[in-house]
Amino acid sequence: MKVSYYPGCTLKTRAKNLEDSALAAFKALGIEYQELDRWNCCGAVFSLADDDLIHMVAPVRDLVRAKQLGAGTMVTLCSMCYNTLARANELMKHEEVKRKTINDFMNEEPDYFGEVEVVHFLSYLKNQIGWGALKSKVQSPLGGLKIAPYYGCTLLRPKDVAIDHPDSPTLFREFVETLGGEVIEFPSSTVCCGSYQALGNPEAALKVSFDILSDAVSRGADALVLTCPLCDYNLGRRQDDMLRKYEGAKDVPVLYFTQLLAIALGLSQEVCRFELNRSSTARLLKSRNLLAGVKA
Amino acid sequence: MSTDAQEVTAGVEAKLIPIYVMGKRYDVPDSLTIMKAIEYAGYKYIRGCGCRGGVCGACATVFRKPGDYKIYTGLACQTVVEPEMYLTQIPFYPANRAVYDFGSLTGRPEEIFALYPELFRCVACNACTKVCPMDVEVLDYISAVKRGDIEAAARISFDCIQCGLCASRCFAEMPQYHIGQLARRLWGAYLTPKAEHLKTMVANIQAGRFSDGLSGLKAMSQDTLKKTYQDREMEPATGGEDWTPKDRQYL
Ligand code: FES
């Protein structure tokens, strides 16, 4: 089952920990993949203006590249890229007039009709690998580590691209349980992290992110697991600002779902790149002997 | 003018075709390059012409053909005229080159991001690639820079001759060709492995290893110098990797 793989810009720079752990997991799970040989930024945010078609050109061009590779499925890791690409794909599938405008504008590329399926890796794990098969590959189960799975917005909204039920998703829970972790359910798991407000209104973003983390911690989470470099920026990196600003703020380990997967699959610690996470993350995992089973 | 043309091309069957230079019609021989045709039409270049060999980027030209909405481009010194083409040369297009102290850079992608933040305005419209007369995949190298892959950016932009047409068409108002140049500089200076043997060679030169040989050459009479040159031992075309000359005193 060969798939094409769309990485996304941040995964090649600041979020190498998301990509490297995922690629190692692809291998361990026998997923044959090919990174798109040419790709551009996915567009980063799906434009909500109805007639803003120029911002569809970037994601559609990536979809055209996937089609040119001949792969029916294109897997993404970053949920933001997933959202932008999947929504552009929906538009190209269903909105005839806009599709024609975009295809006419991109006259140097073959016409595109939404032939490629955009799939987030979490869905791929459930639907193509299967939880049973994944479980059989787990080498170091997470030993009851209390994990709060954080979906954020882009995996669940809008509902035509949601990877699960938008209001009561269970996919992430199933994933963590398959790896042997204990799931901490918390109401904020689908609340927005503040997203790009980190630029325009950093204080407001900080507050919502702090509330999300506090919610998870108050329910006993050891760590938060997520799927998006921007969420990681707000909920991970910006904890330094929270620790300064909010009394009683705690340092919460935050990691990508692919890092959790790599640990459970017993993959080399090197591919997890924990140096790019908060230092509390590796500390926590070490204290639970979860890095011990990992092949050095 | 057509009488002149017949005189110039006496004996050669030159078919005249109409072209429009900045909107004005001229009948020019159909075998000329745009540059020659412009000169044939009576213009004299003081800008917009450099190497006449397709490498300096001075002569970028934009043209259209009748009944076709597309924009075409070419280097005036390389592109042959076509009947009814409307053209203009764009010898220069304003594009700000960021000021940097190259010695203080280290080759990190963030350095390019800081110098050219407009990179992130790119919407992947691909107008840059479409307009490039060198067929450089401009969007691809800009995309490579955005994801921090300076090596890919340097390689993809390698054929760029800095004509500036990409910048003229950019929806995001970027100076692509300056960004590509910075990527190539960073890659060359900081990211490719250093040639270790070069250090040894420089040290040898500084230590005077070749001084005698050079002064010997300098002291030769012209005839001896010529003879020495003609008699020199040359590496045979079939010489393999391990070929060495008989005289090994300077190796
Ligand atoms: S004159 Fe140098 S490229 Fe045409």
Domain presence at residue B111? yes
Asked if the model's pLDDT at residue A246 lies above 90, the reply is yes
- Domains of chain A plus CATH, in order, are 2-122 (1.20.1050.140), 130-287 (3.40.50.11810)
Return the number of other C-beta atoms located less than 10 Å from residue B97's C-beta.
13
On whether both B58 and B126 belong to a single domain, the answer is no
Q: Interface pTM (ipTM) of the complex?
A: 0.92
Per-residue pLDDT at B58: 97
- Predicted confidence at residue A293, as pLDDT, reads 56
Per-residue model confidence (pLDDT) at position A273: 96
Task: Give the model confidence (pLDDT) of A77-95 as tens digits.
Answer: 999 999 999 999 999 999 9
Under the banding of pLDDT at 50, 70 and 90, the label for residue B1 is very low
- Residue B218: inside a domain: no
When mean pLDDT is compared across A180-194, A265-279, B10-24, B174-188, the lowest value belongs to B10-24
Total CB pairs under 8 A between chain A and B = 47
Distance from CA of B43 to the nearest CA of A (A): 35
Average pLDDT of the segment spanning A58-66: 98
Q: Return the CATH number at B79.
A: 3.10.20.30
**pLDDT exceeds cutoff 90 at B14:** no
- Output the six-digit token pair for A134: 């994944």
Whether the CB of B54 sits within 6 Å of ligand 1? yes
Which strands form A146-149's sheet, in the order they lie side by side? A182-183, A146-149, A223-226, A254-256
Same domain, B115 and B51: no
Name every chain A residue with its beta carbon within 8 A of the beta carbon of B147: 7-10, 12-13, 41
Q: Do residues B74 and B151 share a domain? A: no
Q: What pLDDT was estimated at residue B181?
A: 98
CA distance A215 to A211: 6
B133-156 per-position pLDDT tens digit: 999 999 999 999 999 999 999 999
Domain annotation covers residue B212 = no
Three-state DSSP at A197 gives helix
Q: Is residue B130 a part of any domain in this protein?
A: yes
pLDDT of res. A179: 98
For residue B205, tell me if it sits in a domain.
Answer: no
Q: Ligand 1: does its nearest atom lie under 6 Å from the Cβ of B74?
A: no
Q: pLDDT per residue over A43-59, tens digit each?
A: 988 999 989 999 999 99
Using pLDDT thresholds of 50, 70 and 90, give the confidence band for residue A71.
confident
**CB distance A40–B125 less than 8 Å?**
no
Pair (B83, B161) in one structural domain: no
Domain-ending residue, one of B89, B124, B142: B89
Question: Residue B175 domain-assigned?
Answer: yes
Domain with B59 in it: 14-89
- Regarding whether B127 and B61 lie in a shared domain, the answer is no
Decide if pLDDT at B2 tops 60.
no
Kindly report the pTM of this predicted structure. 0.88
**What tens digit of pLDDT does each residue of B160-211 get?**
999 999 999 999 999 999 999 999 999 999 999 998 899 999 999 999 999 9
Let me know whether B184 and B111 are in one domain. yes
The backbone torsions φ and ψ at residue B19, rounded to the nearest 5 degrees and listed phi first, read -130, 160
Q: Is the pLDDT of residue A5 over 60?
A: yes
Looking at the fold, whether B186 and B134 belong to one and the same domain comes out as yes
Q: Give the number of domains in chain B.
A: 2
Indicate if B127 and B181 belong to the same structural domain: yes
Tokens (6 digits) for A5: 């793989």
Q: Nearest-CA neighbor of B144 among B134, B136, B160, B155? A: B155
The label of the residue with tokens 């691909």 reads B126
Q: Are residues B85 and B132 in the same domain?
A: no
In a domain, B157, yes or no: yes
Give residue-wise pLDDT tens across range A171-180: 999 999 999 9
Peptide bond into A149 cis (omega under 30): no
Q: CATH code at B123?
A: 1.10.1060.10
Q: Indicate whether residue B132 lines ligand 1 (CB < 6 A).
A: no
pLDDT tens, residue by residue, A251-267: 999 999 999 999 999 99
Q: Answer whether A45 touches B (CB < 8 Å).
A: no
